[in-house]
Structures are given as structure tokens and as C-alpha cells.
Amino acid sequence: MKFGKEFKQQKVPEWIEAYMDYNGLKRILHVIRQCKQLDEPPTPIRTSQQGLSLYRPFSGLDVRSNSDESTSDIEDQVIAVETVRQDDTTEVYNTNFLMSPEQSEVTFFEKLDHELNKVNTFYREKVEEVINEAASLNKQMNALIALRIKVEQPDISKCHIQRNSGPLGSSNMKSPNRYKSEKPLDVLDRVKINNTLESPMSTIRSVLNDSKDKDLSFKKEELKEAEGRLKVVFIEFYRKLHLLKHYSYVNLLAFSKIMKKYEKITLRRAARSYMKIVDDSYIGNSDEVTLLLDRVEGTFVKYFANNNRREGMKLLRPKRKREKQRVTFFSGFFCGCSIALMTAVILLIQARKAMDREEHTMYMENVFPLYSLYAYIILHLLLYAANIYFWRRCRINYPFIFGLKQGTELSYQDVVLVSSGLAVLTLATFLVHLHMKLDSVHSDYEKYIELVPLGLLILLLAIFFCPFKILYRSSRFFLIKSLFCCICAPLYKVSLVDFFLADQLTSQVQAIRCLEFYICYYGMRWYQKQQKCHTLDLYNVFYFIIAVIPYWVRFFQCVRRLFEEKDWVHLINGSRYLLTIVAVVIRTIFELKINKTWKILALLTSIAAILFNTYWDVVVDWGLLQNNSKNLFLRDKLAVRRKYMYFVVMVLDVMLRLAWLQLVLKFNLHYLKGTAISSLFSCLEIFRRGVWMFFRLENEHLNNVGKYRAFKSVPLPFSYYEEDDDEKDD
């Protein structure tokens, strides 16, 4: 693999703009090569020199010959790099030619100097950040060590313990002078537990203006909680240090590669003198990150792994998830089985003429919502798998944005495996159920045949909530936790994954209604056998409520973010969900009571909601249609190379939004009646949401790139008090 492609793959996605522009420098070198080919005709001089070099005497062990060669190298240098110190910490590098250069070469070194200054500035800023963070972690560890001593030895006296310099070293700890003579346990007098774990109680306390922090109780549970949270902080901090070290390494390698290309094209010796400046610069000469890596490893192994270095390093450096061949194999196998089962279902329906016989009409009307639930889920999973594939192709860091633990995120092959496996299970059950129902001659077994779809639902719910470490348990529990936070939206801090999931639920209203139909259908089997669900008033009431629930969740999430972030854009966002709720309610009333008045109201509210939501999708969620963008009607930064795709999806979003009006206008669609129409447009809405999903996350990723946010913010377990007064005393 060429270095340019390898360099691109090794970049931290959120730091792309901070890396050396290797491809830009290569393009300038390409111009230099073209100019030389035009100005100088090809000559065999270089070939003859290479041939003569074969007859030179061997001088590898001749010290004088090496020194003569180095002297000639110095004499042949064509550049001199000037170092200009702007302040005590910042240096700027400018290259001067010792001979008359070509203009393209001047351009090359001007850009090369700019790239060197850029990476040095960025690296210095990031190193200063981690040094300050190390000082904060040092204080956290001092508090943890003191708490551990107090919990494990409650009767120990403070005077029996000597002061140490801190787990990460005293050089990075910015402690006030008045605390240098303190005993280690004295720190507990100025520390409280930082109650950062969001819960309904913490939300109520914040509303009542009560402090979230709580005093230390010196219990084992409190110590265990603090250790667990600080362990996560150390793992994330170690990852940050590792990426910084890798950033330094790949950029230094890129400078070396580009200078070798320059020498090869121009036949001028400039790499040695320039690389000496690069190696002496901050990014090449700084060792703070390496020292911190060693200290973090030692501290983590000692305090969190019981001096077991192997176990400690396994936690600090989790293995990346490897793609397994058997996942790809079974994905393809299940996809083939799904196609075969679908063909068998269609042939069976046609052979038994299930759509034509009156005795089977009621059965087909009931079985459709019973099994369409799984069709909605499978379609959504397939779209999510496609998004994962394209996110990776466009280098969009979806695991970081969603807050997924490294090594546990699902690949698109995993999602395809889950969706295809679900499709096989559903279609096989439906085929058996259909065959037993259409061919059943004994009414005694009819009630048992009707339990087949219910058995499938119970099986899938059992797998979803299975506590054992099988079938992607970490991903299932992550989804369950996010669903619970969505249901309790006002009582939990809203993260991106929570409102992202709630937005997906707004496209699964029909699937949620299918769950309601399950309850009604099997409830009537035991109590009201002859009555239809839609004739029950209670069913119709919940038919309204269920359609509104996902939008209420998003509304409450907007309200929570409004109170926390004090940003009025969340109020506007919440108002569009209120408008959507009104449109959904009126449209549902129109479905149950078809008359002209409700039709006009449903049409007006639906159009208003469509216009508002379409504008929000394109302008706010996707960040498109920017006035001052260098890309016409788009935005400055784009992850997809083909710009026309953005215009296609904008038009597609409008068209799929307008498709919602079919449920109001009631166009005459042949072969589509009743629930088939609503199911079709529900699938179109799921498809629209899948497209929205990709570009929404692309915009979020590019915003993170603009702010260089490559690490998640991990809350610290302890809060220190009296800091301001202490700093004033200094």
C-alpha cells in the first residue's frame, strides 16, 4: 500500500485538518516534475553516474571517506531553515534558498513550512491539555487513595501516613503551597462525591436547586463506585495519550517521505537539513506524552489491576473488534434462505387462493399486522447496516459519536446477520402458520395454531432481554438502556444517542401499533372472540396515544435540553414536534371518522408539519442550504465526494415527506387496500429516516471535526472545594 493511502487511514477522523497535508504537497511536487520535464530534455547522465558507482571502491568502513561524504553533503545543501521565536513557547519556521529556485519549489517550501508550523501548534496545544488533565487526575487519585485507606482501615490515624508526591508525579500537579504539608487523609476534608450519574433523583434535586454533590460516607459501595468511574477516566485518558503519540509519529514520517520525494524529483539535497529542523521542533523533540504514558500505565496497573501488568494493559488497550468470516458466511446464507422462504410464502398464498376466499379474508387481515411488525424492524436494521457501511467508507466516526465502547460496536456484517436471521425466523414461522391455518380441517387445533405468532414474539423478547453473554449482549443492553432513557425523557440527561433513537422511533409508529394489535388480538381470543379490535373504544384510544408517544418523547427531550443548555433552538425544535403531534392526532381521527371537515383539517396540519420538518431536516439536521458556503447550496465541509448526492437526497426527503399526504387524500391505488396502504407508506417513512440517519450523523461528525473533539467527556468522581480561596493565597 502506498504511504498516502496508509497515512489517510491512520488519521484520527476528528483531527484530519490538523495533519500534514501530504496530498497537497504531492500535487506541488507533481507540478515541479512536469516543469522539469518541459525545461530539461531527458539525458543519460544520471544512468551513467549510477553505472560508475558500481566501480567505486568499497568504503563502508573508511571513516575518512564518510566524513568527506558528509562534508560534501553540507556543501551541496540548497536550503536554510530559519527559526523565529514568537514567544517563550512558540516557534515559527521559514525556509530560505541558498540558490535561485523555481517558483514551484518556493511554493512547495512555503506550504511545507506552513504544515510544520500547523502540526507543531496543534500538538503543543494538545500536550498542554493532557498535562493539565494529568494534574487533575493526580488530585483525583490522591482522593481515591485516601478514601481507600479510610474505608479499608477506618481506625487508622492521619499522623501515621506520610505524604507522597502523587501517583502521576509531582511535576504535573499544580497544588497550592498551603497543602504541601498536609497529611494524605486531610484531602478528604475538602472532597465530595461528584454525583454525575444522572437519575430521576438528581434531576429533582437540580430543579429544587439542591447540590448534586454529596458528602463522603466512607462505605465500600462508595469506594467501588469511585474506583469504577476513575478507571474509565484513566482508560480514556490513556487512549488520548496514545493517539497523540501516534499523531506525532505519522506526521514525522510524512515529513520524511515528502522530503525524499522532493530529492528524488529535483535531484537536490535538502532532506537532511530540513528533517534536522523537524526533529528538533516541538513535535519531534517533546517527550511529555511518552513520560505520561509510562506514568499512567504504572498507576493503572498498581491501583486498578493489583500490580498485574498483563490484566492492566488488557484494560488500557482493548483489542479492536475483528471481522469474522463466519459472520459474513451466515449473513449470506440467511439472506439466501430468506429469499427462498419469501418465494415459498407467495407460492402458497397463490396456490391456496388465500386472497380470494371469503373464509380466509379475516385471517389475512389479522395476520398482516401480526407479521408486518417484523418487516418494519428488518427494514430498519438493513438501512442501519447500509449506513454503517457508508459511514466507514466516508470515515465518519460513528462509535465515538454514539458513545459505543471500543470493541463492542457492531459492524455492518453483524447487523445484516441479525436482520437476515430475524427474517428467516419470521418467514419460517409465517410459512408454518399459513400452512397450518389454510389446511386445517380440525377446529380443535385452531386455538393452538393462532398462538404461533405470539410464540414468535415471546421468543424474540426473551432473546432481546437475555442476560447471558450471548448474541451481542453489550449491544442489546446498550439499546435497552437508551430505550429506558427515552421513555423517562424528562428525568435523564439527553445524550445524542438518546434523541437519535427517539427520532428513529417516530418512524416506527406503525410497528408500535402492531404491538397494540397483538395485545388486543390475543386478548379477544379469550374474552371477546367475535369482536374486532377497531370496534373497541379502548383500542381506539390507545391507537391515538401510541401514535403520539414517540413525538412526546422528542418534545420532552427538547424541553430538558432547553433547561440545561439555555438554547432557544431547542424550543423551536420542540414546537415542531408539537405541530407534528397535532397533525398525527387529526389524521388519526380522520382515519376513524372519514368526513370532509376532518379531511381539510388533516390536510392543513399535515402540510404545515411537512414544511416545518423538511426545512429542519435539510437546514438544521443536515446543515445544507448555507448562504455563504463555497459549495453552492450545501456546506463548506462534505464527507461525500459526489455533491449531486446532496441534492438528490434533499429532493427525496421532500417527496417522501409528501407521501404522507396519501393517508389523507386517499388516492385510488390498485391492489392496495386497508392496512396494506398504511404499511407501504410506513416502509417509505422508515426508508426516509434511514437516509436522514446518514446525513444527520455526517453533519454531527463534521461539527466534531471542526472542534477537534475526538474523545468523550468522562465525569470525574470527586469534587474539590475551597480551590478559589487557595489560589488567591498564592
The span from the CA of 174 to the CA of 108, in Å, is 43
Is 35 a domain residue? yes
Is 25 a domain residue? yes
Strands (DSSP E) found in 78-234: 79-85, 91-97, 191-193
Give the pLDDT of residue 268.
Answer: 80
DSSP class of residue 636 equals S
Is 721 a domain residue? no
pLDDT higher at 2 or 526: 2
The span from the CA of 725 to the CA of 190, in Å, is 12
The span from the CA of 137 to the CA of 312, in Å, is 18
pTM exceeds 0.85, yes or no: no
Indicate the residue type of 330: F
Give the pLDDT of residue 389.
Answer: 94
How much is the average pLDDT of 555-583?
90
pLDDT digits (tens, 9 = 90+) for 223-241: 888 888 888 889 889 989 9
Give the pLDDT of residue 292.
Answer: 92
The span from the CA of 387 to the CA of 691, in Å, is 8
Domain carrying residue 28: 1-42+77-317
The span from the CA of 678 to the CA of 655, in Å, is 17
Q: Taking a C-beta distance cutoff of 8 angstroms, is the pair 654, 648 a contact?
A: no
Is 309 a domain residue? yes
Instruction: List 193's β-bridge partners, or say none.
Output: 214, 718
How large is the angle between the packed helices 103-152 and 288-304, nearest 10 degrees?
Answer: 20
67 pLDDT more than 80? no
Is 441 a domain residue? no
DSSP class of residue 306 equals T
Q: Quote the percentage of the chain above a pLDDT of 90.
A: 28
Give the residue among 689, 610, 698 at the shortest CA–CA distance from 654. 610
Is 304 a domain residue? yes
Instruction: List 191's β-bridge partners, or say none.
Output: 720
pLDDT digits (tens, 9 = 90+) for 608-625: 999 999 999 999 999 998
Per the structure, how many domains does the chain have?
A: 1
Q: Is 547 helix (H, G, I), strand (E, B) or coil?
A: helix
The span from the CA of 427 to the CA of 375, in Å, is 10
pLDDT digits (tens, 9 = 90+) for 81-129: 777 776 666 778 887 777 777 788 888 888 999 999 999 999 999 999 9
Give the pLDDT of residue 250.
Answer: 92
Is 248 a domain residue? yes
pLDDT band at 669 (very low <50, low <70, confident <90, very high): low
Q: Report how far apart, in Å, the C-alpha atoms of 722 and of each of 175, 176, 346 are.
A: 12, 11, 74
What is the 3-class SS of 254-291, one letter each residue?
Answer: HHHHHHHHHHHHHCCCCHHHHHHHHHHCHHHHCCHHHH
